[in-house]
Amino acid sequence: MRLKEIIRLLDAVIITNSRDYEAEIEWACATDLMSDVLYYSRGNSVLITGLAKQQAIRTSDIADIKVVVFTRGKEPDTHTIELARKKKITLLITPYSMFTACGKLYERGLRCCPE
Amino acid sequence: MKIDKTYEGNFHIVGGDFSRAGEASTELKTILLNVGIEDEIVRRVAIATFEAEMNIMIYATAGILRYIISPEEIRIIAEDMGPGIEDIELAMQEGYSTAPDWVREMGWGAGMGLPNMKKNADIFRIDSVVGEGTTVEMIIKL
Amino acid sequence: MKLKEIAEILSLRPLTPVEGLEREVSGAYVGDLLSDVMANAGEGNLWITLQTHVNIVAVAVFKNLSAIVIVNGRMPDSDTMDKAVSEDIPILLTGKSAFETAGKLYQILNAQNLQG
């Protein structure tokens, strides 16, 4: 799924982005637990999380995740935004809950990272 | 790309400092990429090291992360001054954790740390003495 | 929609007594941070999570959730099961991820709302 479509479907606010809006994102991972991101995710995926903290960005950087979406309109602090910018991670905020965000992306064909 | 020499180094980790958690692993990731290790291997080393770093952060007073990058393999040794692990077999089970609630609310401590290290390393060894500390050694072959 | 119908469509495996499956599901919430679920999950919601420890049952009781679905093939701790049975909170398992479980359930609940 293209980044611009993820943004559109999730009515997301763009906090940081240095990526082409046409960039293809292959997989999705939805969790608040960082070890599960590390265990199940693949590179080039989008992480949907309610953990609107630096840890989510740090973990995504380690796991080569390119796009992070914070749910329920949670605003991260400046350290989190700064880290995302430095690590060239696209950071989005969606007003939707994780359930609705997963539903909207799944409905349009995005799938979770294969094991 | 072939590595022609051995690179070594270490990072000191201070327990409890969540704001800096992951910095050592991030730095190691950069070093590996600069040395010319391929992306998928870098990802595995980074994940395994990150989990080891988080464990020190969460459970120990302090610890040290050593890395040795040689033409054959990458070796990571995480040694901490912590409470030690009573039952290693139990600790290795997916989902088993003794982490306090505040750690769980930070997105960690769900019992996937050690399984994650084992999953990403070709060779995984753990040695622990209750009341003294834990040493984890991980080897990823090149 | 009844929990039983959802369990059938999504092939969820109930670990608690089947009587619990007669419950109505009002909607769903996905989350692994207990404070977040405490603050934001709605009454009657089906809760999709990776967490397995005993505190999830307390959260479900407190928030009057309809059931807990544990994803990624994770097994709940034995004290979690004991508490779920004594507090009458259905626990169901799936080997699928939270993303996929939520994705499918979203479609099922939406289709239901359109019919209703």
Picking from B138, B127, B111, the residue whose alpha carbon sits closest to that of residue B46 is: B138
Q: Cβ contacts (< 8 Å) between A48 and chain C: which residues?
A: 99
B23-35 pLDDT tens trace: 999 999 999 999 9
B7-141 falls under which CATH superfamily? Histidine kinase-like ATPase, C-terminal domain (3.30.565.10)
Q: Tens digit of pLDDT for each residue in A36-92?
A: 999 988 889 999 999 999 999 999 999 999 999 999 999 999 999 999 999 999 999
Q: What is the per-residue pLDDT for C116?
A: 53
CB contact under 8 A, B101 and C55: yes
Q: Complex ipTM above 0.90?
A: yes
DSSP B18: G
Query: What pLDDT is recorded for position C115?
Result: 65
Note whether A63 contacts B29, CB cutoff 8 Å: no
A26 lies within 8 A of chain B by CB = no
pLDDT value for B1:
61
Number of folded domains that form chain C: 1
CATH number of A3-112: 3.40.1390.20
Task: Express as a percent the part of chain B with pLDDT over 90.
Answer: 82
Measured between alpha carbons, how far is C82 from B43 in angstroms, rounded to an integer?
40
What confidence category does residue C113 fall into, taking pLDDT thresholds of 50, 70 and 90? confident
- Tell me if chain A has a CB within 8 Å of the CB of B41: no
Q: Give the distance, in angstroms, between the CA of residue B102 and the centroid of all CA atoms in the same chain.
A: 21
Q: Closest residue of C to B97, CA-based?
A: C53
Other C-beta atoms lying within 10 Å of the C-beta of residue A38:
26
User: Mean pLDDT in chain A?
Assistant: 96
Facing B107 at nearest CB: one of A32, A61, A63: A32
Contact C76, C70 (CB under 8 A): yes
Average the pLDDT over each of A94-98, B63-67, B98-102, C6-10 and give the range with the smallest value.
B98-102
Is the separation of the CB atoms in A77 and A51 below 8 Å? no
Both tokens of residue A70?
A: 């914070």
From chain B residues 11-70, the ones with a CB under 8 A of any chain C CB are: none
Q: What is the 3-state secondary structure (H, E, C) of B44-96?
A: HHHHHHHHHHHHHHHHCCEEEEEEEECCCEEEEEEEEECCCCCCHHHHCCCCC
Distances (CA, A) of A107 to A102, A111, B98, C103: 8, 9, 38, 7
- pLDDT given for residue B17 in this prediction: 84
For residue A91, CA distances in Å to A20, A27, B66 come to: 13, 16, 32
Residue C82 sits in which domain range? 3-108
Q: Which of A9-18, A58-67, B100-109, C87-96 has the lowest mean pLDDT?
A: B100-109
Contact at CB, B115 and A79, closer than 8 angstroms: no
CB contact under 8 A, A38 and B26: no
Q: What is the CATH number of the domain that holds C42?
A: 3.40.1390.20
How far, in Å, are A31, A80, A102, C24, C57 from residue C43 at the CA level? 21, 32, 20, 11, 14
Given a cut of 60, is residue B134 above it in pLDDT?
A: yes
Picking from B97, B101, B104, B106 by the largest number of C CB atoms within 10 A of its own CB, the best residue to mutate is B104
pLDDT value of residue C10: 97
**The Cα angle at residue A98 between residues C95 and A112, in degrees rounded to 5:** 40
How many CB contacts within 8 angstroms connect chain B with chain C? Answer: 20
Q: What is the CA radius of gyration of chain B?
A: 15
**pLDDT confidence tier of residue C91, bands split at 50, 70 and 90:** very high
